[in-house]
């Protein structure tokens, strides 16, 4: 068993039926799940930023090949199955919204990369055409400007494709996993 799996097994409980890791969250009330400043209905309300960050970081610790479950521990005296359904719906809506938002941002980034590549080739083509025109200092300087500009735009396209894209894709995968994660509530034992 690898060190990563040993670490995960020490930190997270495992659902013995599915093999999914369980992210456990202890709360005092149902309203702790949502942002206290957002007064929209629970289905449309933003999650509490600290709770969302905690759940997202826990999810990122667990490799994508494993599923996750979210378990909220609450006091027995406030048990309400109607609120559970509304909260589960709100949780999934929240992460589906951010999945869609990040997907749109990724598509926009792809369009920018295409624009960078086209601009790069145009600038490099102009530099190539101007390079044979004259040995004049002015033309030489302009040619160098077009060459540098072309390479800068090309580097931006390469930089996104090889370095920044994977981070964006991982964020989308994480949000998708959270949106489809089974959510359940426990009342018999309050986790501390």
* Residues 121 and 36 occupy one common structural domain: no
Whether residue 167 is contained in a domain is answered as yes
pTM passes above 0.85: no
Pinpoint the alpha helices (H) of the chain.
3-11, 49-61, 81-131, 137-159, 165-180
Is the domain of 85 the same as that of 7?
yes
Over residues 41-65, the mean pLDDT reads 85
Please check the confidence at residue 2 and state whether its pLDDT lies above 80.
no
CB contact at 8 A, 100 and 187: no
Calpha distance 151→153 (Å, rounded) = 5
Tell whether 191 is covered by a domain.
no
Q: For residue 96, tell me if it sits in a domain.
A: yes
Strand ranges across the sheet with 183-186: 13-14, 21-26, 68-73, 183-186
> Do 93 and 156 fall into the same domain?
no
93 plus 14 within the same structural domain = yes
Which pLDDT value is given to residue 98?
94
- Both tokens assigned to 59: 């999810």
Can you give the residue range of the structural domain that contains 145?
Answer: 105-171
On whether the CB atoms of residues 34 and 81 are closer than 8 A, the answer is no
| 13 and 61, same domain (yes or no) | yes
> In the numeric block, which tokens belong to residue 99?
């999945």
Instruction: Name the pLDDT band for 39 (thresholds 50, 70, 90).
Output: low
Share of the chain above pLDDT 90, in %: 56
Identify whether residues 72 and 124 lie together within a single domain: no
* Residues whose CB is less than 8 angstroms from the CB of residue 21 and which lie 6 or more positions away in sequence, other chains included: 8, 12, 13, 14, 15, 62, 66, 67, 68, 69
Residues 115 and 63 in one domain: no
pLDDT of 79 strictly over 60 = yes
Same domain for 113 and 90: no
* Contact (CB, 8 A) for 42 and 88: no
Query: Is residue 146 classed exposed, middle or buried when 0-12, 13-18 and 19+ CB atoms within 10 A define those classes?
Result: buried
Query: Does residue 36 lie in a domain region?
Result: yes
Q: How confident is the model at residue 35 (pLDDT cuts 50, 70, 90)?
A: low
- Does residue 60 form part of some domain? yes
Binned at pLDDT 50, 70 and 90, residue 40 comes out as: low
Statement to judge: residues 91 and 127 lie in one domain: no
pLDDT by residue (tens digit) across 123-159? 999 998 888 776 778 888 888 999 999 999 999 999 9
Q: Kindly tell me if the per-residue pLDDT of 190 is higher than 50.
A: no
**Distance (Å) of CA 103 to CA 66, 70, 92, 164, 168:** 22, 24, 16, 14, 9
**23 in the same domain as 53:** yes
Do 80 and 132 belong together in one domain? Answer: no
Q: pLDDT per residue over 153-179, tens digit each?
A: 999 999 988 888 888 999 999 999 999
CB 126 within 8 A of CB 133: no
With bands split at pLDDT 50, 70 and 90, how would you rate the model's confidence at 45? low
Number of domains in the chain: 2
Q: Are 134 and 159 part of one and the same domain?
A: yes
Q: Is 157 part of a structural domain of the chain?
A: yes
Average pLDDT of the chain? Answer: 87
Q: CA–CA separation, 192 vs 185, rounded Å? A: 15
Residue 161 within a domain: yes
Q: CA–CA separation, 181 vs 63, rounded Å?
A: 14
Asked whether residue 158 is assigned to any structural domain, the reply reads yes
Positive or negative, the CA dihedral 43, 47, 51, 53 is: positive
pLDDT at 81 over 60: yes
Longest dimension (CA), the chain: 86
């Amino acid at each position: 068993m690898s060190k990563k799996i040993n670490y995960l097994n020490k930190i997270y409980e495992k659902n013995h039926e599915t093999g999914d890791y369980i992210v456990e969250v202890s709360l005092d009330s149902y309203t702790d799940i949502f942002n206290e400043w957002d007064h929209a209905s629970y289905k449309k309300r933003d999650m509490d930023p600290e709770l969302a960050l905690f759940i997202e970081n826990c999810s990122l610790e667990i490799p994508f090949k494993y599923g996750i479950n979210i378990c909220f521990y609450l006091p027995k005296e406030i048990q309400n199955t109607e609120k559970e359904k509304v909260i589960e719906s709100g949780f999934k809506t929240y992460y589906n919204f951010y999945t869609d938002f990040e997907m749109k941002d990724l598509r926009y980034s792809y369009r920018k990369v295409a624009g960078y590549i086209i601009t790069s080739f145009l600038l490099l083509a102009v530099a190539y055409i101007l390079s044979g025109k004259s040995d004049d200092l002015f033309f030489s300087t302009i040619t160098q400007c077009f060459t540098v500009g072309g390479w800068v735009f090309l580097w931006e396209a390469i930089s996104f494709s090889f370095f920044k894209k994977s981070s964006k894709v991982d964020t989308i995968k994480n949000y998708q996993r959270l949106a489809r994660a089974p959510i359940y509530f426990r009342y018999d034992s309050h986790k501390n």
